[in-house]
Amino acid sequence: MGKTYSVKPTPVPKFVSNQDILEGKRLYQSRGCGDCHDVDGSGRTFIDDPAIGTISGANLTAGKGGILNDRTDEELAVAIRHGVGKNGRALIFMPSTDFHGMTNEDVGKLISYLRSSAPVDKEQGEIKPGPLGRFLFVIGEIPVLVSAEQINHETNHLENLKPTVSLEYGKYVAATCTGCHGMKLVGGPIQGAPPEWPPAQNITKAGLSHYTEVSFIESIRTGKRPDGSEIKFPMPWQSLAKLTDTELKALWLYLQSI
């Protein structure tokens, strides 16, 4: 956990138009950033378990206790896509494996939105892996605890990827799902989750056999499965409901291919 990483910064574009800032906000919401950093970007404690540990997201605003004024756009991009902080040390429980493939344009819009958001005075919450969390990390059961160790830091990032209903774009969107559903999207116990959390569902073609494209999209939008039952926490359907129709159709297409 104390290892340092050397990551070559990649220039990311800056955006100022209202349309681009709103898209950055949608990306923040739909990619689940608020689950750890709260809806206003001020950070929150999202795991507080004596065994697993206490894990809090950073304050991403320019307020007191926030990191925004002390980071360049390129440093923020490294944190988002590589799980590596300003000093080269790994960020604990930053799920950068979900965001490593984000294009420069999407990362730029996301950061531009953060720059435009209101400052919130809030000190950093505690980040302290517990004994069970450390043990599970050592035996490889919680790799997300140090996602930087799982990432190829020599990757050349795409400048842009046009949203289309295609396998390529569906795979791009599906990266958001890997933190809970696993790299192969077959589900199972969620990394680092308290024992009372239910396992993630298999969302490959086999696991979604009782869904159609229409019912899949409706479930994401409404939080209700085809049989009428509610999709319960920790499935972040409220965040995923912010995905566009194109994103959801592409995601369905990709999930049906695996």
- Per-residue pLDDT reduced to its tens digit, 104-152: 999 999 999 999 999 999 999 999 999 999 998 999 888 888 999 999 9
φ, ψ (nearest 5 deg) of residue 4 = -110, 155
Give, as one character, the DSSP assignment of residue 48: E
pLDDT at 179 over 90: no
Q: What is the mean pLDDT of residues 170-181?
A: 94
What are the tens digits of pLDDT across the range 211-227? 999 999 999 999 999 99
3-class DSSP state of 45: strand
Helix axis angle for 245-255 and 213-222, nearest 10°, is 130
pLDDT, the chain, mean: 94
Instruction: Please tell me the distance from the alpha carbon of residue 246 to that of residue 248, in angstroms, as a whole number.
Output: 6
234, pLDDT greater than 90: no
Nearest of 95, 130, 91 to residue 5 by alpha carbon: 91
pLDDT of 191 reads 81
- What single letter denotes the amino acid at residue 132? L
Q: What one-character DSSP code corresponds to residue 200?
A: B
Lowest mean pLDDT among 82-91, 184-193, 200-209: 184-193
**Which residues have CB under 8 Å from 195's CB, separation 6+?**
none
Distance CA 141, CA 229 (A): 30
Q: What share of the chain is helix, strand, coil (3-state, %, to 5)?
A: 40, 5, 55
Tokens of residue 20, six digits: 């681009």
Question: What mean pLDDT comes out for the span 93-100?
Answer: 94
pTM over 0.85? The answer is yes
* Cα 192 to Cα 161: distance, rounded to the nearest angstrom: 31
What's the rounded mean pLDDT across residues 193-197?
Answer: 78
Looking at residue 10, its amino acid is: T
Residue-level pLDDT at 192: 76
- Spatial contact of 56 and 124, defined as CB atoms under 8 Å apart: yes
**Strands annotated E in 69-175:** 128-129
pLDDT at 143: 86
